Amino acid sequence: MTAKGLPPSAHAISGAVGGAFATWLFYPLELLRVEMQKTPPPSSQEDDENIKHDNEPPETNLECFIRLYKKQALYRGASAMVTTMLISSYITFFALESIRRSMATLKQGGQQSNRQQHTRQIHQLQNHIKFLNYILPKSKMGSSLLASTITGVINVFLTTPLWNGTRRIMESDPQPSKPISSCINDEKKQVNISVLPLKSEPNLWEMMYQIAKDGGVLQLWHGTVSSLLLVSNPAIQYFLYEQIRVWILVIKIRRRGSGGAGESMQLTAMEAFVFGALSKTVATVITYPLQLGQVLVRLRKNEVKDLEQADPCMEIKEYNGMADCLYQQYTRGGFSLLFQGMSSKLVQTVGQASFIFVTYEQMLALVAKVIESR
């Protein structure tokens, strides 16, 4: 049985398992990317005089990794990220497969809509099918890109609260709780010592509750507009992967028809790894400035809030949207600063996407064998 014969739930479970496993495996690199994006850009003469910049060189990826390792924080917030990725991957693969099948059904229905029907309801349904057949892309590539885009939009609206909670956990450093006073008796004097234990890391649901409590329920969907702009990343990724996948499977079918006995109708693990890495690399390079701008706008907003509480006289302004943020990044460090931290992002996200698709393809093959054996 091929992947087309499997239900959408099989695709969803396979993708969710792959997403959770790959996220856990590459999580330290994701945390490293967040830490590197928090590094302030180099100073310029146009910077506010009240803002002090250190003369020390910026922290490298290796130095940041060692610092996190010494603090035993390489997996800080990992449980929240894995949970979010599990749910997000399930929604993505389920919606993507369902939408593709629905679009294919509507096209077939549009082509067969000339059949004579007798009931009024059937005639109305035919009119809707004809309309959808006109607006849907005629090519398979266009349909695939549209399905990936719709899937991304659905995923954004359903999982933005989860991602906001996860990011808040990742970007927050463990803070000490209330001091616990202890007393040490000495021969000459009594010394009081205050011990500052670290607060336990909040889980994803506690963080989401805290966000809703502080800013209202709608605050959970904060950043939805900018996230919709980033729908282009998974849309490009899944579109490229699907096109390469179909192209390779067509070649295998032709080989099998021309005497290539034993040719598998599924992608091998190596093929899935390479094609997943290629599609994610292209998508990441194209959309990385948007991802960087989203992170920097959020970090600057949190920084302004903290500085206002600590020193009201300190003048530092929020970015006036993502365009203003990217423009200031460009004026400070040129084109290269728009891709700050992309090296660690590429290693993390490309490796993660590759393992997602490897696990996805292997799980699909396993499910197909189980169904065939029944």
Query: Which H or E element spans position 183?
Result: strand 180-185
Q: What's the mean pLDDT in 93-106?
A: 86
Q: One-letter amino acid identity for 229?
A: L
Does residue 18 contact residue 88 with C-beta atoms inside 8 Å? no
Mean pLDDT of the chain: 76
- Lowest mean pLDDT: which of 49-53, 215-219, 220-224, 355-359? 49-53
Which percentage of the chain shows pLDDT scores above 90?
A: 17
- Between 19 and 368, the more confident residue is 19
- Lowest mean pLDDT: which of 6-20, 80-94, 178-192? 178-192
- Between 322 and 157, the more confident residue is 157
- Lowest mean pLDDT: which of 54-63, 121-130, 267-276, 329-338? 121-130
Does residue 295 contact residue 34 with C-beta atoms inside 8 Å? yes
Does residue 224 contact residue 160 with C-beta atoms inside 8 Å? yes
Question: Two tokens at 288?
Answer: 């990385």
Q: What's the mean pLDDT in 350-363?
A: 88
Closest among 251, 249, 238 to 278, alpha carbons compared: 238
Q: What's the mean pLDDT in 280-295?
A: 88
- Between 204 and 259, the more confident residue is 204
Alpha-carbon distance 268 to 320, whole Å?
47
Q: What's the mean pLDDT in 150-170?
A: 91
Closest among 202, 208, 203, 206 to 159, alpha carbons compared: 208
Alpha-carbon distance 203 to 217, whole Å?
18
Q: Per-residue pLDDT tens for 241-263?
A: 988 888 888 888 888 766 555 55
Instruction: Calculate the alpha carbon distances from 108 to 83, 104, 133, 310 in Å.
Output: 38, 6, 9, 64
pLDDT over 50 (residue 80)? yes
Closest among 17, 186, 12 to 98, alpha carbons compared: 12
Closest among 31, 102, 99, 39 to 69, alpha carbons compared: 31
Question: Two tokens at 12?
Answer: 């969803």
Residue written as token pair 């992967």: 241
Alpha-carbon distance 301 to 316, whole Å?
10
- In this prediction, residue 195 carries a pLDDT of 44
> Bridge partners of 183?
192
- In this prediction, residue 50 carries a pLDDT of 46
Alpha-carbon distance 71 to 92, whole Å?
35
pLDDT over 60 (residue 69)? yes
Q: What's this model's pTM, rounded to 2 decimal places?
A: 0.71
